[in-house]
């Protein structure tokens, strides 16, 4: 393996995400970061707020994992189960493949929708926005057979259709118009097309005959030992199999690194100098694959090895509670590129702080990481708390820092 290939493999691990983000958090503690001040004493207030949110929503601490499946049930309707009930009788393996087809395509369409976009659910006329709206729109798009080349099997996502996916199909399905703009339409459509190409490039993961997203299930099942599959193995398969889809990013040795960005305060004596990995959508997808795999009979281990998600609800929580404060408050009124050091810094500090906050939350509830893993702290506490604060403080629940994105990161 070449030096570049080894460097890429190292950056594709949750250990690298945690290590480099924690490193920047240490610099923040010493006051040495260019954009943010850390006020660690405010973390206690953040812990109380998050614990209060958990008690309000999950008083028995029976919290589901943070995953795409929660959004499919927005408004109290179990849309996935309704869809599954319409399928021709199938076995547990095929059901898992369908769920992976759905999860992957939906998560890839999940990046921030923007403040103005809304989705009117045809079957209920209920109006949804942001993550819930994107989830329901993508589920309905999937249910229509839009990703399947087999009319008799509409609930699948295969290369033959994905690689020819058109922007206009996305716009119609997501009700996009001049009066209902969706951020990053081109980026989302390009991701779906790139997904189709990726399936053909990785036959070991997705099959050589009629490559399909859901065939990832068979690959992962084959990598389990006595029915146990490490979460890190799921993430590795996602990063390797879907790595080429990310547009215009940092590359090493000709390999696209995906959600990896530069910060001048991270120093290494190799090709990874200055690089900070996050793998937000890939880890979000990994969390979202746990339930289909476990419901099919596997047990996913080592979930605590994954990190928090570097996105604006978690990051907004720490800014809105003054754990993180901008050194120059004037920049809050500006829009920042997702590759800017300010945004990279914000995302990295979010990852580091989520680990610390999760530990404090467990102490408050008298439990441990096995009983209350980060995936549950995210779902029951930080994500919901971040959204709640955003709506309390800004019209429409907007992010505290405006980020210019192409629809493939946040």
Which residue's structure tokens are 């994107």? 134
Per-position DSSP letters for 357-395, written without gaps between them: HHHHHHHHHT--TTTS-HHHHIIIIIHHHHHHHHHHHSG
Euclidean distance between CA atoms 146 and 161, whole angstroms: 8
For residue 406, the model assigns a pLDDT of 62
Residue 409 belongs to some domain of the structure: no
Residue 86 belongs to some domain of the structure: yes
Cβ atoms of 243 and 258 closer than 8 Å: yes
Euclidean distance between CA atoms 120 and 131, whole angstroms: 14
Counting every residue written for the chain, the total comes to 410
Cβ atoms of 277 and 20 closer than 8 Å: yes
Query: Considering its fold, how many domains does the chain have in total?
Result: 1
Q: What are phi and psi of 300, to 5 degrees?
A: -90, 125
Q: Which domain holds residue 43?
A: 3-404
Q: What single-letter DSSP state applies at residue 304?
A: G
For residue 186, the model assigns a pLDDT of 87
For residue 410, the model assigns a pLDDT of 54
How far does Cα 104 stand from its chain's mean position? 10
For residue 266, the model assigns a pLDDT of 96
pTM of the model: 0.90
Which residue's structure tokens are 């989705």? 119
Question: Which residues of the chain carry a pLDDT beneath 70?
Answer: 1, 248, 406-410
Residue 397 belongs to some domain of the structure: yes
Cβ atoms of 393 and 97 closer than 8 Å: no
Euclidean distance between CA atoms 277 and 265, whole angstroms: 14
Residue 410 belongs to some domain of the structure: no
Residue 300 belongs to some domain of the structure: yes
> Among positive and negative, which fits the CA dihedral 3, 216, 172, 197?
positive
Euclidean distance between CA atoms 120 and 128, whole angstroms: 6
């Amino acid at each position: 393996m070449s030096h570049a290939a080894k460097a890429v493999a190292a950056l594709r691990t949750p250990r690298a995400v945690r290590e480099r983000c924690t490193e920047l958090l240490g610099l923040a503690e010493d006051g040495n970061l260019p954009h943010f001040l850390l006020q660690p004493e405010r973390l206690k207030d953040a812990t109380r707020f998050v614990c209060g949110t958990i008690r309000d929503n999950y008083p028995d601490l029976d919290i589901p994992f943070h995953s795409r499946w929660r959004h499919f049930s927005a408004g109290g309707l179990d849309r996935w189960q309704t869809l599954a009930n319409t399928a021709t009788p199938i076995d547990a393996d095929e059901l898992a493949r369908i769920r992976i087809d759905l999860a992957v395509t939906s998560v890839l369409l999940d990046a921030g929708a923007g403040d103005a976009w809304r989705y009117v659910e045809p079957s209920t006329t209920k109006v949804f926005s942001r993550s819930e709206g994107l989830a329901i729109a993508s589920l309905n798009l999937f249910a229509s057979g839009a990703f399947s080349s087999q009319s008799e099997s509409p609930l699948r996502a295969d290369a033959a259709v994905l690689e020819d996916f058109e922007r206009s199909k996305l716009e119609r399905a997501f009700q996009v118009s001049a009066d209902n703009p969706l951020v990053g339409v081109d980026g989302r459509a390009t991701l779906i097309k790139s997904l189709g190409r990726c399936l053909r490039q990785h036959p070991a993961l997705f099959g050589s005959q009629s490559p399909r997203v859901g065939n990832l299930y068979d690959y992962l099942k084959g990598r389990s030992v006595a029915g146990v599959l490490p979460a890190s193995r799921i993430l590795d398969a996602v990063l390797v199999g879907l790595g080429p889809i990310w547009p215009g990013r940092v590359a090493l040795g000709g390999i696209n690194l995906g959600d990896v960005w530069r910060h001048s305060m991270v120093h290494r004596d190799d090709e990874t100098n200055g690089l900070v990995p996050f793998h937000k959508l890939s880890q979000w997808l990994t969390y979202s694959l746990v339930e289909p795999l476990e419901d099919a009979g596997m047990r996913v281990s080592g979930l605590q090895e994954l990190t928090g998600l570097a996105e604006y609800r978690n990051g907004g929580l720490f800014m809105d509670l003054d754990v993180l404060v901008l050194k120059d408050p004037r920049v809050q009124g500006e829009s920042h590129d997702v590759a800017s050091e300010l945004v990279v810094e914000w995302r990295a500090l979010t990852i580091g702080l989520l680990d610390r906050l999760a530990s404090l939350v467990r102490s408050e509830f008298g439990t441990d990481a096995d009983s209350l893993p980060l995936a549950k702290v995210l779902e029951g506490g930080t994500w919901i708390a971040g959204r709640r604060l955003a709506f309390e403080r800004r019209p429409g629940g907007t992010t505290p820092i405006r980020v210019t994105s192409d629809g493939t990161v946040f």
